[in-house]
Chains A and B, each alone.
Chain A
Amino acid sequence: MPSPTTEPLIEFDRVDKSFGDLKVLDELSFRVDPGERVTLIGPSGSGKTTILRLLMTLERVTPKADPERDGGVVWLEGEPYSHMEKRGRLVPANEQWLRRRRSRVGMVFQQFNLFPNMKVLRNVTEAQVHVAGRSKEEAEAKALDLLDLVGLAEKTGEYPSRLSGGQQQRVAIARALAMDPDVLLLDEVTSALDPELVADVLAVLRDVAGSTSITMLCVTHEMGFARDVSDRVMMFDGGRIVEQGPPEAMFSEPQEARTQDFLRAVLAE
């Protein structure tokens, strides 16, 4: 478990993110330690998903004029991530830089986003072969291990369109893990599922959390899962952190009125 002396794996330093006139993240700063499991909660539009999308480089931070002085930079493993160094100065990262760095991060999406043109096995091997440079045999062996972990070893020859949502999502988890990321981002991974399929997906994630030291950032409305798995819960509203703490404290005695209101509304569902 994380100790206070370790260098943070992820650091947001006064990060702004705007979409046009809409400011989604406002001078946001926080750190995540290696191996830490963090759950992000908050009303929709509070910026939680944007944080994951910035970490997956699907969005870019809104640049500041002087990043050395004013921040606005995401750091990963002590090195700039949203930015890169150019002639001793931090400038917004280009695609080459991102390609070098983003392999440390993997993501599972709300809508699974499996590749429909590839069967299950190839969904899990494709990036291993083309990006990680593994041999086909090595990639397949790893894929089979992971598909076994998520309980879908017998579905390797199926197209995603033949699977239920829950099965697709479990394949998506295997696909993300196959790239051996240090950080796994989970973006409302059960929100698109029928209620009876949620439990299987959460069981797989509990399994992953229990058996690996992977760092997890999780946006979810599954408070039971958040309580079981996370080391820390962060409550967001308006692109800022309202309150954060260990799950027991956050769920049983939240200090802020907005957190209390939010939890009341979610738990009443």
Chain B
Amino acid sequence: MDFEAVIESLPRYGEPLLVTVGVTAASAALALVLAFALGLMTASRRLAVRAPARVFVEFFRGSSVVVQLFWFAYAMPVVLGVQFDHLIAAGVIALGLNYGAYCSEVVRGAIAAVPQGQLEASVALNLTPLQRMRLVVLPQAWPEMIPSLCAFAIMLLKASALVSVIGILDITWLAGLIGKQPGQDRLLHYAVVLVIYFVLAWLIWTGMRALERRAKRGLGVDARPAKGRLAPAVAAGGAR
């Protein structure tokens, strides 16, 4: 195996790595915004609000990401006359919509899991529906969402490799390309990519853990792993 050839070609990963990170970050941001919008809509009691969001979510969850990528990159310009200057935008939108649809269920579930008594107390204090959501429900639902959102963020990182099907050069495609060249070992290049993905996933995981701990501290709960310590009392009316 030729390690030297691999090491010499490492700088070539720079730009594709930026693509992988950029596509992941941009589509995660889009997905997060959509997740909250759709999650709040699907949690609504009004059918006129709930129904369109539900249709959107089921459509994007129920159809293939690869087909969506092709559609945004190649079909939409023909059918709707909307052309992206950079194909990467099509990739970000397809992944963002897809993962936004998935994550909206996380948001909806976490909102639904806030105890009914919390809503009743906020009605008793005469908060408006918007204040109930902003001051009471979301701050309690948010820490519950983080672990699932973290899992989706890591899945999204790995799914970003799919943008290669619309001709965007990311690290996975690059590994395949360089690996085919004479004097290069394809397996070693795939091993490099494996490590890069692992490190990126670890960064996401670490960041999300820190975020979760901070969020739980905002509920008066110590979220550090318990060592010889009893589990913290569940905040909402748990301690009797």
Contacts and interface: CB of A to CB of B under 8 A. Distances in A.
Contacts of A95: 129
Contacts of A130: 127, 131, 135
B140 interface: yes
A194 B240 contact: yes
B119 to A, nearest CB: 9
B43 interface: no
A113 interface: yes
Among A112, A172, A176: residue with most chain B CB under 10 A: A112
A159 B239 CA distance: 12
A116 B125 contact: no
A109 interface: yes
A159 B235 contact: yes
A163 B233 CA distance: 10
Contacts, number: 98
B128 interface: yes
A116 B236 contact: yes
Contacts of A193: 240
Contact of A117 (B117, B126, B127, B136): B136
Range of interface residues on chain A?
35 or more
B117 A111 contact: yes
Contacts of B124: 56, 58, 102, 105-107, 109, 176
Contact of A127 (B127, B218, B220, B232): B127
Interface string B203-240: 00000000000000011110000000000111111111
B5 interface: no
Contacts of A126: 125, 135
Interface residues of B, number: 31
A176 B128 CA distance: 16
A244 interface: no
Contact of A109 (B121, B139, B240): B121
A99 B120 contact: no
B196 interface: no
A162 B237 CA distance: 11
B123 A58 contact: yes
Interface in A71-108: 95, 99, 102-103, 105-107
Given A111-B117, A159-B219, A162-B220, A117 B139 contact: yes
A113 B220 contact: no
A127 B123 CA distance: 10
> 8 shortest A-B CB distances, which residue pairs?
A159-B220, A116-B235, A127-B125, A113-B121, A161-B235, A113-B117, A117-B139, A165-B240
Interface of B: 115, 117-118, 120-129, 131, 135-136, 139-140, 218-221, 232-240
23 contacts: A58-B123, A99-B126, A99-B128, A102-B126, A106-B125, A107-B124, A112-B237, A113-B121, A113-B236, A113-B237, A116-B219, A116-B220, A127-B126, A127-B127, A131-B125, A159-B221, A159-B235, A161-B220, A161-B233, A172-B121, A179-B126, A193-B240, A194-B240
